[in-house]
Amino acid sequence: MMDIEKDSEYTRNKGSLPTGEGRRGALAEDWRAPLSLSSAQRLVDEWIKTYGVRYFSELTNMACLTEEVGELARIMARTYGDQSFKKGESHDLGDEMADVLWVLLCLANQTNVDLTEAFRKNLEKKTTRDKTRHHNNNKLK
C-alpha cells in the first residue's frame, strides 16, 4: 500500500490521523475538503481501515473495476448512444465515475502506485509524444 504517513500532502495538512470514533469524524471532514489524487488515496485507505475491515484482493478489485466500468458504459450508451434507459434504471453518471475512481484508488494503494506521480509522468509522456499529432488530424477540425 502507498505509505500515506510519508505522503507530503498528508504530513503537511493532517499530521497524524485519529483513531476509533475520532477517526470517523476526521473522515467525514475530509469528505468535504477539496481532494487531490494523493489525498483521495489516503482517504480511501483510511475508509477501508475504518469501515471496510481490509482491502479485497487485487484480483477481486480488478474484477470490481471491470464491473464498474461496465456500469459507466451502460449509462454512456443510454445517454449518448442509441439505447434508451429501462424503467427505474440509474442515470447518475457522476456516481458511476466515482465508483470507477474508488476502485482504481484501492488498486493504486494495494500496488504501491502513487497516482499523483504516475499521472504527472503519463501527462509528460503524452505531451512529448502527441504535442503536434492532433493538430494535423482532419477528423478533429
CA distance 128 to 2: 28
Neighbours of 113 (CB within 10 A): 16
Residue range 23-70, pLDDT digits in tens: 555 565 566 778 899 999 999 999 999 999 999 999 999 999 999 999
Supply the pTM of this predicted model: 0.78
pLDDT of residue 15: 36
Could you give all domains of the chain from N- to C-terminal order, each with its CATH number?
Answer: 37-130 (1.10.287.1080)
Sign, CA torsion 28/55/61/71: negative
Give the closest residue to 24 by CA, choosing from 60, 50, 45, 42.
50
pLDDT of residue 32: 76
